[in-house]
Each structure stands twice: as structure tokens, then as C-alpha cells.
Amino acid sequence: MDVMSAAIVYGVSFGRTVWGLLTRPYETYRRIAGHGKLGELIFVVALLVIYFALASAVKVTAFRPFLLTRQFIVLLMGAVSSISISVGSLWVAGRLFGGKPKLEVVLLAWAYTLIPTVSWFMTTSILYVLLPPPRTTSALGILFSLLFLVFSATLLWWKVTLAYLTLRFGLKFDFAKSVGVALFCAPILFGWSYLLYKAGIFKVPFL
Amino acid sequence: MVDVTYQKFVKRWEEVTDIPPQTFGPLTSLYKKMTRRLKVMPWPWFVGVSTLLAFGLYLAFGSAIASLVTLLQRGF
């Protein structure tokens, strides 16, 4: 299979999976764990790159190639380190709790949980330009605040659902063990997110 | 024809039994009812619960939710 054909196959598979995550997350995660291909990650990475390019432009606010590139690299490294730590700690926890998780399955399953994360960050960046903070306490300000909170919480539930399905299908654990893995990983991810917050890279954890 | 159907059934059966079933003792049926709604088109539930949460925050903290949204908007 040549590069173009492979890109089309993985692209179609990625599109079907994202649609599945929206409409049938449970079945879709079963398919990701059973038949997912690492090649689909290219499209997740492409989404991240697009977002970090946009976020760099919004944060730097001036056409200064050096500053833009530096900001882009900082954001990308922050995200890559967070994703590596998330996947690594899930895999280690999976083994500690008696499972035999495959690293590539955990990686692919976790990578798809980044779709709600990127969606929230991208929308927030665009809204930052269109309706820059601070929000006011006028009727319109409160209405926007309510809508933004509904939007944020909706994507958070989606993220939590996909993260749970990663544990369920990526590690093949029942609810009790999944909670155990989550409790094992939470302090690690919290600590890393706090470090990134103190470094001024991500104020909201990019997990 | 029968072979094809049987093979599909076996494949599906293997997929379904690949992970352990979830049981919560007496709460198992309640758990199954709740998760059934999250397995297919979960958005009405996500949006519904989020709306309740947002209005709950507004009732609890009033216009201070504007400050929370300001923080979140600067959080990317």
C-alpha cells in the first residue's frame, strides 16, 4: 500500500471513529481496542498541531516568527509530555492491577480521548478572540457564562466517558479495577498538570 | 449461508465476552439502565446534566459564575 492509499484508509477510519465517538462511543471503543490502527494517530497529531498553531497565534498576538515558534514548541512539548505520562501511568497501573495491557491499544484509545480536549481548547481559543474576557455580570454576560459552562461541562462528560472506556477496553478491567487505576493515575496527572500550570504552559490541564 | 451467519455470531460473541461483565450486586440493573443511555447517542444526557450543573452553579454563586468563566476562558 503506497503512502497516499494508506493516508486515505487511515483518514476514512479516523473519520468513522470520530463519528462513532459522537454517536456510539461504547461500540466504537470496542472497535478501537480490537481493530484500531496506530496510523490513525497521524490525524490526531494533525489536529493537535493545528490547535497549537492557532493557540500560539492567539497567545503571542504579534507576527514574531521566533516567539510564535517558541510558543508552538512549548505547547507541543507540554502536550506530548502530558500524553506520554497519561499513557505510561495507565499502562503501568494496568500491569500492577493484574492486567496485560498492550501499549499501542492504550495509546490509541487514550489518543481518541484527546478529541473532546482539543475541541474545548480550540473553541475556547476562538472565543477568546471573538468575545475576549473578562465576562461581565450584565444579562448578556451571565447568559454567555451559562452557555459556556454548559458547553464545557458537556465536553467534560464526553471526555470522562471516553477515558472510562479507555480503561474498560484498553485495560479490559471491570468497574472496581478501573476506579483503582484512576485513583493510581490521578495524583501523577494532577502533579504533572500542576507543574505545567506553574510553568505557565497550560492553566487548564491538557490531558 | 448458515456458516457465514454462524461465523458472524462467533465473532460477535468473542467480541462481547472479551471483557468481564460489570456487576454491582443489587445495583446492577440500575447501572445497566444508566449506562444503556450513555452507550448510544449520549448527548441529550450530557447536555441535560451539564445544564442542570450550570444552573445549579448560578443558583449557588449567582453572578460570580462570570468570574469562573473568565478564568476558564483564559485557561487555554
Looking at this predicted complex, what is its ipTM? 0.87
Interface of B with A (CB under 8 A): 15, 18-24, 38-43, 45-47, 49-51, 53-55, 57-58, 63, 65-76
| Residue A207 within any structural domain of the chain | no
Residues 61-80, chain A: which have Cβ within 8 Å of B?
none
Q: How many domains does chain A have?
A: 1
Residue among B46, B55, B69 minimizing CB distance to A157: B46
Query: pTM for the complete prediction?
Result: 0.91
Cell of A190: 494532577
In three state form, how does the secondary structure of A46-66 look?
A: HHHHHHHHHHHHHHHCCCCHH
User: Is there a domain that residue A79 lies in?
Assistant: yes
Please report whether residue A30 resides in a domain: yes
Query: Has residue A71 got a pLDDT over 70?
Result: yes
Within-domain flag for A159: yes
CB B75 within 8 A of CB A205: no
Over chain A, what is the mean pLDDT?
93
User: Which chain A residues are closer than 8 Å to B40 by Cβ?
Assistant: 23-24, 26
What is the predicted pLDDT for the residue at B65?
A: 95
pLDDT value at residue B40: 93
In tens, the pLDDT along A4-20 reads 888 899 999 999 999 99
pLDDT of amino acid A128: 93
What percentage of chain A exceeds 70 in pLDDT?
100
Average pLDDT of chain B to the nearest whole number = 88
At A167, list the grid cell.
Answer: 480503561
Alpha helices in B1-76 (DSSP H): 2-16, 28-39, 43-61, 65-73
- The answer to whether A141 contacts B66, with C-beta atoms less than 8 Å apart, is yes
- Collapsing DSSP to helix, strand or coil, A28 comes out as helix
Q: Are A173 and A94 in contact (CB under 8 A)?
A: yes
Residues of A in contact with B15 (CB under 8 A): 30, 34
Cα A50–Cα A51–Cα A56 angle in degrees, nearest 5: 105
pLDDT-based confidence at residue A106 (cuts at 50, 70, 90) = very high
| Residue A206 in domain | no
Question: Dihedral through CA A195, CA A176, CA B50, CA B37, nearest 10?
Answer: 140
Note down the domain range covering A186: 3-198
Rounded Cα distance between A54 and B50, Å, is 27
pLDDT higher than threshold 90 for residue A63: no
Asked if B22 and A174 come within 8 Å (Cβ–Cβ), the reply is yes
For B72, the closest chain A residue by CA position comes to A204
**Contact indicator for A167, A44 with CB cutoff of 8 Å:** no
The pLDDT value given to residue A122: 95
- Please name the member of B19, B40, B74 whose beta carbon is closest to the beta carbon of A203: B74
Shortest CA gap B61–chain A (Å): 12
Q: Is residue B1 predicted with pLDDT exceeding 70?
A: no
Q: Which residues of chain A from 133 to 172 reach within 8 Å of chain B, CB to CB?
A: 133-137, 141-142, 144-146, 148-154, 156-158, 161, 168-169, 172
Determine the pLDDT at residue A74. Answer: 94
Alpha-carbon distances of B67 from A102, A141, A147, A176, rounded to whole Å: 43, 10, 14, 37
CA distance A56 to A64: 11
Note the pLDDT tens digit of each residue in A163-189: 999 999 999 888 888 999 999 999 999
Q: Where are the domains of chain B?
A: 41-76
pLDDT at A4: 87
- Asked if the structure places residue A167 within a domain, the reply is yes
The three-state secondary structure class of B17 is coil
pLDDT tens digits, one per residue of B34-58: 888 899 999 999 999 999 999 999 9
